[in-house]
A and B are shown apart, each in its own frame.
Chain A
Amino acid sequence: MAAPMERVIKQQTERSTFKTTSFQKKTRSKLLSIPGTRPSVQNGQLLVSSGVTSLDFLLGGGLAVGTVLLIEEDRYDSYSRVILKYFLAEGVVCRHRLFVAAAQENPDDILQELPAPILDDVAIPKPVEQPRLPCESQESLDSMKIAWRYQNLPKVQTALVSSSRFGHYYDVSKTMEPEIRQAAKSHCFYLPDHPQKTSNTHSQFLGPYSALLKSLQEVIRQEGFEVAASMSNSQNPNVLRIGLHSLGSALWGDDLCCSDSPEHRHSLVTFLYGLRALLRSSLAVAVITLPSHLIQDRALMGNITRLSDYSIALESFKGSERETNPLYRDYHGLLHVRQVPHLNCLASQLPDHKDLAFKLKRKQFSIEGSMSVQGRTSAVWLCPSP
Chain B
Amino acid sequence: MQWCNRVNTGLFIASPAMYTELNSILNTSPESFTKGDFILLSDKQSDASFLIHHFLSFYLRAKCKVCFLAMVQSFSHYSTVSQRLGVSLAQAKEKGQLVFLEGLQESLSILIPQDEHTGSQAMNFLRDPKLGLQDLYEFVSSKVKRSCGGEAESEEWGPPVLLVDDLSVLLTLGVTVGAVLDFSHYCQATICSKLQGNMVMLVRCDQEEDEGDNESPACLLKGLTHQSSLTLDVQGLPTGYCRDIHGQVEVCWQRRQGDGQNTQNKLFQYKVHDKGASFFARGTSSAVL
Cα of A269 to Cα of B111 in the assembled complex, Å:
12
B residues contacting the other copy or chain, number (CB 8 A): 44
Q: A213-B112, A266-B129 are in contact. Are A346 and B76 (CB under 8 A)?
A: no
Q: Kindly provide the distance from the CB of B180 to the nearest chain A CB, expressed in whole angstroms.
A: 15
| Per-residue contact bits, chain A 259-303, to B (CB 8 Å; 1 contact, 0 not) | 000000110011001101110110000000000000000110011
Given A217, A265, A266, A281, which contacts B105 in the complex, CB threshold below 8 Å?
A: A281
A205 at the binding interface (Cβ < 8 Å) = yes
Give every chain B residue within 8 A of A265 (Cβ-Cβ).
174
Give every chain B residue within 8 A of A302 (Cβ-Cβ).
206, 208
> In the bound complex, do residue A273 and residue B104 qualify as a contact, i.e. CB atoms below 8 Å apart?
yes
Give every chain B residue within 8 A of A346 (Cβ-Cβ).
50, 53, 81, 84, 272-277
> In the bound complex, do residue A277 and residue B172 qualify as a contact, i.e. CB atoms below 8 Å apart?
no
Residue on B nearest A206 in the bound complex, by CB: B111
> In the bound complex, do residue B204 and residue A306 qualify as a contact, i.e. CB atoms below 8 Å apart?
yes
A307 at the binding interface (Cβ < 8 Å) = yes
A214 at the binding interface (Cβ < 8 Å) = yes
> In the bound complex, do residue A273 and residue B272 qualify as a contact, i.e. CB atoms below 8 Å apart?
no
Among B232-254, those with CB < 8 Å from A are 241, 246
Cα of A303 to Cα of B213 in the assembled complex, Å:
15
Give every chain B residue within 8 A of A354 (Cβ-Cβ).
241
Cα of A234 to Cα of B108 in the assembled complex, Å:
27
A residues contacting the other copy or chain, number (CB 8 A): 35
Residue on A nearest B79 in the bound complex, by CB: A344
Give every chain B residue within 8 A of A343 (Cβ-Cβ).
73, 77
Give every chain B residue within 8 A of A214 (Cβ-Cβ).
112
Cα of A210 to Cα of B108 in the assembled complex, Å:
12
Given A205, A217, A269, A299, which contacts B206 in the complex, CB threshold below 8 Å?
A: A299
> In the bound complex, do residue A273 and residue B275 qualify as a contact, i.e. CB atoms below 8 Å apart?
no
> In the bound complex, do residue A270 and residue B80 qualify as a contact, i.e. CB atoms below 8 Å apart?
no
User: Looking at chain A's contact residues, is the secondary structure mostly helix, strand, loop, or mixed?
Assistant: helix
Given A206, A303, A342, which contacts B172 in the complex, CB threshold below 8 Å?
A: A303
Residue on B nearest A307 in the bound complex, by CB: B172
Give every chain B residue within 8 A of A298 (Cβ-Cβ).
206, 208-209
Between A and B, how many residue pairs show CB distances below 8 Å? 102
Give every chain B residue within 8 A of A277 (Cβ-Cβ).
104-105, 107-108, 111
Residue on B nearest A349 in the bound complex, by CB: B243
> In the bound complex, do residue A347 and residue B107 qualify as a contact, i.e. CB atoms below 8 Å apart?
no
User: Looking at chain B's contact residues, is the secondary structure mostly helix, strand, loop, or mixed?
Assistant: mixed
> In the bound complex, do residue A202 and residue B172 qualify as a contact, i.e. CB atoms below 8 Å apart?
no
A203 at the binding interface (Cβ < 8 Å) = yes
> In the bound complex, do residue B127 and residue A202 qualify as a contact, i.e. CB atoms below 8 Å apart?
yes
Q: Kindly provide the distance from the CB of B83 to the nearest chain A CB, expressed in whole angstroms.
A: 9
Cα of A354 to Cα of B240 in the assembled complex, Å:
11
> In the bound complex, do residue A202 and residue B169 qualify as a contact, i.e. CB atoms below 8 Å apart?
no
> In the bound complex, do residue A299 and residue B209 qualify as a contact, i.e. CB atoms below 8 Å apart?
yes
Residue on A nearest B241 in the bound complex, by CB: A354
| Per-residue contact bits, chain B 194-215, to A (CB 8 Å; 1 contact, 0 not) | 0000000000101011100100
A345 at the binding interface (Cβ < 8 Å) = yes
Cα of A265 to Cα of B53 in the assembled complex, Å:
31
| Per-residue contact bits, chain A 10-26, to B (CB 8 Å; 1 contact, 0 not) | 00000000000000000
Binding site for B on A (CB under 8 A): 43, 200-203, 205-206, 210, 213-214, 217, 265-266, 269-270, 273-274, 276-278, 280-281, 298-299, 302-303, 306-307, 342-347, 354
Contact sample, A vs B, 30 pairs, CB 8 Å cutoff: A202-B111, A205-B128, A205-B174, A213-B112, A217-B108, A266-B174, A270-B174, A273-B104, A273-B107, A273-B173, A274-B108, A276-B72, A277-B104, A277-B111, A278-B108, A280-B74, A281-B74, A299-B209, A302-B206, A306-B169, A344-B76, A344-B77, A344-B80, A345-B274, A346-B84, A346-B272, A346-B274, A346-B275, A346-B276, A347-B246
Closest 4 CB pairs of A and B: A277-B104, A202-B113, A302-B206, A347-B272
Known: A203-B113, A269-B173, A346-B53. 17 other contacts (CB 8 A): A202-B112, A202-B113, A265-B174, A274-B107, A277-B111, A280-B73, A281-B74, A302-B208, A306-B204, A307-B172, A345-B81, A346-B50, A346-B81, A346-B272, A346-B276, A346-B277, A354-B241
